[in-house]
Amino acid sequence: MSERAMTSNQTKILAVLAALVAVAIVVPNTNSFLILLATRALAFSILVMSLDILLGYTGLASLGQAAYLGVGAYLTAILATKYQFGLGYDFWLVLLFGIMVGGALAAVFGLLAIRASGVYFLMITLALGQCVWGLAYRWNSLTGGDNGINLRQRPKFGAIDLSNEVAFFFLVFVIFCISLGLMYTLVRSPFGRSLAGIRERELRMKILGYNTWLHKYIAFIIAGAFGGLSGVLWAHTAGIVSPINIELTNSVDALLMAVLGGAGTLVGGVIGSFIVFGLREYLSTLVPWWQYVLGIIYVLTILFLPTGLMGIPERIRQRRARNGNAGKPKQLAPAATS
Amino acid sequence: MATDATPNASSESALPALELKGLSKSFGGLHAVRGVTFKLMPGDRKAIIGPNGAGKTTLFNLITGIFPSSSGQVLLYGRDVTAWSSHRRTALGMARTFQVTHLFPKLTVLDNVLLAIKGLRPSKYVMWRFMSSYPDVYEKAHGLLERAQFMDRKDTEVRFLSHGEQRQLEIVLGLASDPKILLLDEPAAGLSSGESVEMSEFLQGLDPKLAILLIEHDMDVVFDVASNISVLHFGEMLESGPAEQIRQSAKVREIYLGTE
Amino acid sequence: MSMQFWVVQAFNGLSYGALLFLLGSGLSLIFGVMRIVNLSHGSYFLLGGYVALSVIWTTGSWVLAIPVAALAIAFIGLLMERIFLRPLGFDPLRQVLLTVGFAFLFQQAALDIWSGNNFDITPPAALTRSVEAGGMYFPLYRAFMIATALVIGLGLWLAMEKTRIGAAVRATVDDAQMARGVGIDTSRISMFIFALGAFLAALGGVIGGGFLGVYPGLDFEILPLAFAVVIIGGMGSLGGAAIGALMVGLADNFGKALFPEVSYFTLYAPMALILAIKPTGLFGRE
């Protein structure tokens, strides 16, 4: 059984790697519309994965995750337009600053939010997200208010101009892959496993010697830092940063993408992100009723697929196992006591 | 008053592993635990009995810091830990099990034990290495699971285990951190009589240096495991003494054994 | 700043608070009874406005539009609760997401039926006048909003305190399990409260339509404010919702007038602080 678990894990990793290679090969050879769509989905899915660390692994459903994308994006836009900073090799510094500002904001917000749980955590993260939105919306002199900030150019590294869609796609793709790798390592690490323990039974974790508050707080900061990172990429992907990026609906979108793909799987959020961006930006050009499709997909997923799309193989396997050898669990039970 | 007859402990160490001084807890107007004074020396095997609602589990929750106490003190090896949070108390070598199973239902048996072992190791904060890169932790987990005869089910998710198996795993988790003090909250709850016998054999086979405080309704398990029994009634320590004395006590029979 | 400024702003804040009370009281009751974070509450508000528009366009009657819109949306809320929310059981996250899914569906439906244009609900001429007092002009419509909220609030309070169903609702808010234990049909209470919440939100939408307008996006714009009301006041408490609505209405008006750059921040930051310090809100019970 342990060998099977091992190989199934390796199969999954191989499948993800294969999918990534396929994306890297196929996407640049399509048209500019699809390249931009994929770039958007990848940049946003870093935020969705960061949310999944909280939602799927720690059991904390945040309704304000867009705030971290927002601060990263506004930082990038303000530095670029007001100080001409981050448009050359100093872009890497902006990337670092984005991570730091996302993490720092989460460090402040976490102090308020982490004590709460369940519905109260939902509400407090909503309130905190709205604080950031309110500042972005109203603080005209800094944020441009309702209109937001237009970024007129993307960074250039010597001969490489990121205004070129393919070059920019690869930048986002590489940063996405690194983020995925880091977050995957995190969730498989002792710390990541401790988060799963907290999700399952926080009281037991305390009794086992874990300072569960600290673990949740650290996870919250890490999620915020990745949110900030995704914001830096988002600013240059979209070319405009405005309060819409921090609106409640954007946080809700991230949450739904994570759940649609399958919470607690990381890549599920990426799949969710691609599906939603695909529907929203591709289907919307074809038919006017695309939002019904999206709404119905959400409702059906929540009603019938609580484990998301990534949970489908597991459900099929369980169904097969139940039909195949129904007597097996009964055989196991006496073995425990003999 | 509690007269702690602890013949085997006095020679080993002067400091009690666990000491309670006038510990009380009230919820609103209800006094769940009143002025409990108690000592558990290293290697002691003691039990607390009492009817349902006597405050036994509340007492455990006070000792482990799940609830703050209203007054009184909890001392571990002479240190006043009354104001400490649960995880810091655990770090001093205390572990507990729960009356209602508190496992990680959607994690595998092995993962449950791994988390329990990691609880007191600083590497629990490591986030840049896979859990699977700690062979020593896995070795220890396998040892614990072998001893409890769980190896064949180590990859089963805990929620698919039978009730009896989950009760056993509760204790494995309690032992995983190599505690010096083990608090057992009704380990035999819901077990068949055969399973109870096994449970008490398993408990008797534990390291004799381990101090055990047991709450239990199954009197066979209590008399098998504990040498010293205290009776809790409406939150108060009514009587304490060697098992045989408690078995004979008329008062205890009246309030507790008589009702069985 | 003159006396006039304070009086006018206070009056505006009060009338805005009245509107928020209609929206927030239902949300608060829903949360209190069912522990559901209903993210489609803003949609009820918006749909209420749209349905009222249709009624006005076909019959020309504003007076008729109010009950028709509120009852229609109450019916939608009732269906949503019965068919979709009830079977989910208690799972806060799935409930929240389901209500969002519906909010998206409602958004698209509204776009299809009523187009993406901005509309205003024009009240009868008698209500569009202004009254002069002490050199200041007070729009009568805002006074009407305050009066409506007062009447509704009083009615709700009487219903909660004096009727059997009100007592059952209060018992369910306090402890749903206990309420079931003493024979209260909490499932029916939930259905009733959800429909009532939708009714109140839609009523707010019709009345707010003459003041905020009716336009796509209003649903998610107004929703966070409703949550601010509920959280500041305390979930499940009518009196709390009233005070919360008043505070949010005033804070919003004075914030925008006095320090516009941080005006929303001054609204949501206290909300977050209150949640962090006392999650049950200022007036909620433990």
Q: Which residues of chain A have a CB within 8 Å of the CB of B188?
A: none
Domain of A129, in residue numbers:
41-246
Contacting B with CB below 8 Å, chain A residues are: 1-2, 5, 185-186, 188-194, 196-197, 200-201, 203-212, 218, 222, 329, 332-333, 335-337
Predicted local distance difference test score (pLDDT) of residue C94: 83
Tens of pLDDT, residue by residue over A255-265, are 999 999 999 99
Cross-chain Cβ contact A336/B150 below 8 Å: yes
CATH 1.10.3470 given to domain C3-277: yes
Residue A164 lies in a domain: yes
Residue B98 lies in a domain: no
Tens of pLDDT, residue by residue over B95-147, are 999 988 899 999 999 999 999 999 999 999 999 999 999 999 999 999 999 98
**Nearest CA-CA distance, residue A294 and chain C, Å:** 8
Q: How many domains does chain A have?
A: 1
* Cα A100 to Cα A102: distance, rounded to the nearest angstrom: 5
Tens of pLDDT, residue by residue over A178-195, are 999 999 999 999 999 999
Predicted local distance difference test score (pLDDT) of residue A331: 38
Residues B9 and B25 in one domain: yes
Taking alpha carbons only, the member of B6, B50, B9 closest to residue B32 is B50
- A with B: touching (≥3 Cβ pairs within 8 Å): yes
Residue B141 lies in a domain: yes
Residues B147 and B204 in one domain: no
Nearest to C272 among A131, A291, A302 (CB): A131
Q: Measured between CB atoms, does A116 come within 8 Å of chain C?
A: yes
Which helix H or strand E contains A160, and what residues bound it?
strand A160-161
Over residues A288-298, mean pLDDT: 83
Over residues C149-160, mean pLDDT: 92
Residue A194: DSSP 8-state:
H
A219 in helix, strand or coil? helix
Residue A58 lies in a domain: yes
pLDDT reading at A117 higher than 90: no
Residues B192 and B174 in one domain: no
Predicted local distance difference test score (pLDDT) of residue C232: 83
* Cα A315 to Cα A307: distance, rounded to the nearest angstrom: 9
pLDDT reading at B152 higher than 50: yes
**HEC assignment per residue over B100-135:** CCCCCCCCEHHHHHHHHHHCCCHHHHCCCCCHHHCH
Residues B89 and B204 in one domain: yes
The top-scoring range by mean pLDDT among A281-290, A323-332, B173-182 is B173-182
**Nearest CA-CA distance, residue B138 and chain A, Å:** 12
Give the model's confidence band at A96: pLDDT under 50 very low, under 70 low, under 90 confident, else very high.
very high
Angle value at C-alpha B239, between B236 and B245, nearest 5 degrees: 160
* Interface contacts A/B by beta carbons within 8 Å: 125
Query: Given a contact as 3+ CB pairs under 8 Å, which chains touch B?
Result: A
* Candidate from A66-70, B164-168, C170-174 with smallest mean pLDDT: C170-174
Residue in chain B closest to A337 (alpha carbons) equals: B195
Distances (CA, A) of B84 to A303, B63, B67: 43, 10, 11
Which helix H or strand E contains A175, and what residues bound it?
helix A165-188
Residue in chain B closest to A186 (alpha carbons) equals: B127
Give the model's confidence band at B54: pLDDT under 50 very low, under 70 low, under 90 confident, else very high.
confident
Residue with tokens 């482990």: B64
Residues B206 and B164 in one domain: no
Largest CA distance in chain C: 60
Strand order in the sheet with B181-185: B94-96, B181-185, B211-215, B45-49, B228-233, B236-242
ipTM for the predicted complex: 0.87
* Interface contacts A/C by beta carbons within 8 Å: 131
Tens of pLDDT, residue by residue over A28-64, are 999 989 999 999 999 999 999 999 999 999 999 999 9
Distances (CA, A) of C230 to A92, A129, A183, B160, C271: 43, 17, 36, 41, 10
What percentage of chain A exceeds 90 in pLDDT? 66
Taking alpha carbons only, the member of B217, B169, B224 closest to residue B200 is B224
Residues B80 and B195 in one domain: yes
Residue with tokens 């408490």: C237
Over residues A286-311, mean pLDDT: 84
* Candidate from A106-115, A229-238, C84-93 with smallest mean pLDDT: C84-93
Give the model's confidence band at C132: pLDDT under 50 very low, under 70 low, under 90 confident, else very high.
confident
Give the model's confidence band at C1: pLDDT under 50 very low, under 70 low, under 90 confident, else very high.
low
Angle value at C-alpha C174, between C168 and C175, nearest 5 degrees: 90
Tens of pLDDT, residue by residue over B202-240, are 889 888 999 999 998 888 899 999 999 998 888 888 888
Residue A56: DSSP 8-state:
I
Q: Which residues of chain C have a CB within 8 Å of the CB of A123?
A: 37, 227, 231, 275
Nearest to A134 among C105, C264, C279 (CB): C264
Q: How many domains does chain B have?
A: 2
Predicted local distance difference test score (pLDDT) of residue A335: 37
Q: Which residues of chain A have a CB within 8 Å of the CB of B130?
A: 185, 188-189
Give the model's confidence band at C251: pLDDT under 50 very low, under 70 low, under 90 confident, else very high.
confident
Q: Which residues of chain A have a CB within 8 Å of the CB of C227?
A: 123, 126-127
Predicted local distance difference test score (pLDDT) of residue A333: 37
Residues B171 and B208 in one domain: no
Phi-psi region of B77 (alpha: psi -120 to 50; beta: other; left: phi over 0): left
Predicted local distance difference test score (pLDDT) of residue A25: 93
Domain of B63, in residue numbers:
1-93+180-260
Residue A72 lies in a domain: yes
Taking alpha carbons only, the member of A72, A236, A76, A90 closest to residue A157 is A90
pLDDT reading at B52 higher than 50: yes
- Residue with the bigger pLDDT between C71 and C258: it is C71
Cross-chain Cβ contact A190/B119 below 8 Å: no
Residue in chain A closest to B116 (alpha carbons) equals: A208
* Cα C20 to Cα C252: distance, rounded to the nearest angstrom: 11
Over residues B176-180, mean pLDDT: 92
pLDDT reading at C126 higher than 90: no
Residue B214 lies in a domain: yes
Choose one of B161, B178, B195: the last residue of a domain.
B178
Angle value at C-alpha B179, between B173 and B182, nearest 5 degrees: 75
Predicted local distance difference test score (pLDDT) of residue B209: 92
Q: Residue B85 is encoded by which pair of tokens? A: 């949070």
Residue spans per domain, chain C? 3-277
Tens of pLDDT, residue by residue over B58-80, are 999 999 999 999 999 999 999 99
Give the model's confidence band at B12: pLDDT under 50 very low, under 70 low, under 90 confident, else very high.
very low
Residue in chain A closest to B145 (alpha carbons) equals: A336
Over residues C92-103, mean pLDDT: 86
